[in-house]
Chain A
């Protein structure tokens, strides 16, 4: 049993705080929450929307249709009414009753409670919980918690506004069928917070980013945590500087990361290559939006994977991780730092607007610092000069940092084992081979794909944030008797064709990707893991939903 509530209105009308309030309220009731936002690249005007989907079981996708639409203005209602489910209900913020909606004067209700128009959300939320057949307790508790710092009067006014909203739709209690609370976790996270927490607890100490939607949520979350974890979060002058600063920081022994989106990442390609050459463990968080160029700044896409896999001039090992859900966002952020330090090479953590803005209630994430192993070597070598780029079987050289007994020498020019410049062809071959040998070790630690629920004749192949919608689509298709499963890759580079090939042998593969060409499937094909596949693309800027995938598979 699931119900989808959609709040929509003009930017600046409080759509986000209204949605946040509902999401928190429902999570505190023990309902499973899956909340997503759709907003325009502007601060005022236009129509933004916020979906809060609730269920009695864990949710993996947003819904296409709305069971309860709350329109903060008439334009929003006109735009969204086509997406109303059968038996769906609309609430309109208006004084004019008599339409096919419940009229609710949210501002007036808030003012009647002695408050300001800014408390309209509380009145609206009161009406929503009533129409869904819930009582006011959880909403009242959330409002008390939210406003307790602002004093007793503000709390009372908000509680009264909520009660007035609740009573204003009297006679319509339970008009929209809604799930029963099911003991879901009370802690609500968004993707950005999960990633920031993963980085902070892993030990990142320097964050250097130029703001760019949709990556700024992670930057903001890290800045908010900076004092708690002792992190320096500094705004970069540009994305060219960012990876270079990270190289300096990691050269001196401190884990560092940057956050960006496609255009900024393009500027980082030069510094990414530097990290490959100097063998430094930098971590780049890339949150994708549709391109090319400025594209659709506030929308979602999975269109930068091929670019990320090949970014940076020259050849060097690189790792790309792409979390599928919030827990994985936390875990893989940590893993990004671990792998970067173990193999002394850059790691790109890839997500998108959908995953970073996604809110879900999940079991609490650990917030205690638990620093990763930096895999540093002693900076002294009795009787022998320390060589930063010593040729080893694994390709990983003992990494020391400056400040000890020996000098650490790193150069972006071709260099010999000691780090000084060299133009010797044999040294070039030896050092390139050394670096590239790390790929064998990296593949030994490959994070295996998840198969849901079990191998089947047909595979929905996906990566990154398509996980949830794909998984839910598989459940819908299997309920119709289709022999289908999901195969989700959380690690997408480097790839071992021979190791992955058996997964796909003799099965029909449909690549579900948020791009127009099937970038991941093509990488798998290039690696020799996959021969034929059909493509289920989405590149309109919106996230996949289970229903979208189901419809496309059946058509």
Chain B
């Protein structure tokens, strides 16, 4: 938790043992390994426990509204394409409230990196179902258990030809760090779905549950092959594949767009900065 310590401004609001700590640590390590200039980094989030992460490290921070991290991140990237824009938010934020924004950010393939803390439950609002909760998951609101099918963000991303689609988990921090580095290096939109235990509200998908199931994709997996990618994205159960599922060939929005492909928009103005 070097970031929190160095920043010192904000005390974390996470439960002891929360998967978010491992995700924060992996992010710190990934950024340090890549030698990222933190002054050119913007961490964007919505609302939720995961969405507090930007406050706990050294970066520019845009902590916006619930579900709306991606439009804000898109605006930042359009305004100044030289910034590294990473969204770090939860499954409720990105797959529920912000579902439409996710669809269209992926359609644009804008060069934003989305790190989704997917703990299959709503933490900050105290334990309701999330779009990725397992069918039958019982909560104080879903008293008869979840009836809806779980949302599959990775399969959607593959069908939209997104630049980078991967899955990892807070229970395998080294793998997670490697995936974050790959996502940051990739051009265009990156979706990294991070399976994460919630020690307080999700008694089903625990550390042990995830550890028992995550399996690295076999060496033979070709992330350029959409059919293989879709098969991996659709695999969920006793084995859950982790790794780079898909690499799309579409250009990043900011490279394809005739205006954005030039100098950063922000440089059009004579102003005392950056």
Contact = CB atoms under 8 A, between A and B. Distances in A.
A407 B61 contact: yes
A242 B266 CA distance: 19
Interface in B255-273: 257-260, 262, 265-266, 268-269, 271-273
A418 B8 CA distance: 12
B232 interface: no
Contacts of A242: 71
Nearest to A375: B271
A409 B268 contact: no
Contacts of A237: 100-101, 103-104
Interface stretch (B75-83, B186-194, B212-220): B75-83
Contacts of A249: 75-76, 78-79
A206 B82 contact: no
B211 interface: no
B56 to A, nearest CB: 10
Contacts of B141: none
A252 B79 contact: yes
A509 to B, nearest CB: 41
Nearest to B41: A402
A232 B183 CA distance: 26
A400 B273 contact: yes
Given A205-B265, A247-B64, A254-B265, A401 B259 contact: no
Contacts of A246: 75
A245 interface: yes
Contacts of A371: 268-269
B88 to A, nearest CB: 14
Interface size class of B (residues with CB under 8 A): 35 or more
Nearest to A416: B9
Contacts of B38: 407
A280 B60 CA distance: 15
Interface in A503-539: none
A244 B68 contact: yes
A376 interface: yes
B266 A404 contact: no
B100 A241 contact: yes
B80 A252 contact: yes
Nearest to B55: A420
A89 interface: no
Interface stretch (A45-53, A223-231, A324-332, A494-502): A223-231
A256 B268 CA distance: 13
Interface in B186-226: none
Contacts of A270: 65, 68
B155 interface: no
Interface in A185-236: 203, 205-206, 208, 226-227, 230-232, 234, 236
A232 B257 contact: yes
A405 interface: yes
A344 B5 CA distance: 32
B47 A230 contact: no
Contacts of A413: 47, 63
Given A238-B100, A245-B71, A253-B80, A374 B271 contact: yes
Interface in A359-391: 371, 374, 376-379
A420 B10 contact: yes
Contact of B59 (A247, A254, A407, A411): A407
Contacts of A421: 10, 52, 55, 63
B156 interface: no
A349 to B, nearest CB: 19
B269 A256 contact: no
A231 B78 CA distance: 11
Most buried by A among B44, B47, B259: B259
B274 A404 contact: yes
B60 to A, nearest CB: 4
B55 A252 contact: no
A245 to B, nearest CB: 4
B65 A252 contact: no
Given A248-B72, A403-B83, 16 more contacts: A230-B259, A230-B268, A234-B78, A247-B62, A248-B76, A248-B79, A251-B72, A252-B80, A253-B271, A254-B80, A274-B68, A278-B62, A371-B269, A402-B76, A403-B266, A407-B59
28 contacts: A203-B269, A227-B259, A230-B262, A232-B78, A238-B100, A241-B101, A244-B71, A244-B75, A245-B74, A245-B75, A246-B75, A248-B64, A248-B74, A250-B75, A253-B271, A254-B79, A254-B266, A274-B68, A278-B64, A377-B272, A401-B274, A402-B60, A403-B266, A408-B60, A419-B61, A420-B10, A420-B55, A421-B63
Interface of A: 203, 205-206, 208, 226-227, 230-232, 234, 236-238, 240-242, 244-254, 256, 270-271, 274, 278, 371, 374, 376-379, 400-413, 418-421
Interface of B: 9-10, 38-40, 42, 44, 47, 52, 55, 58-65, 68, 70-80, 82-83, 100-101, 103-104, 257-260, 262, 265-266, 268-269, 271-274
Chain A to chain B: the 8 pairs with minimum beta-carbon distance, closest first: A248-B75, A403-B274, A252-B79, A248-B72, A249-B75, A237-B104, A402-B60, A254-B79
